[in-house]
Amino acid sequence: MKTQTETAVRNILEMDDEVVKQDIERTIDVLRGRKDETGTEGLVQVLRRKDVMNLLRIHRRTLDYYIDMGYLDRVYGGGKKAIGISRESFIRFTTRRVVRNTGRAKSAA
Render pLDDT for 41-80 as a digit per residue (tens, 0 to 9).
567 889 999 999 999 999 999 999 999 999 999 999 877 8
Of 53, 107, 82, the residue nearest 73 (C-alpha) = 82
The residue-averaged pLDDT of 26-40 equals 72
Which pTM value belongs to this model?
A: 0.53
Render pLDDT for 9-32 as a digit per residue (tens, 0 to 9).
889 988 888 888 888 888 888 788
Of 53, 54, 55, the residue nearest 64 (C-alpha) = 53
CA–CA dist 58, 50 (Å, integer): 10
* pLDDT value of residue 49: 95
The residue-averaged pLDDT of 5-10 equals 88
CA–CA dist 46, 38 (Å, integer): 19
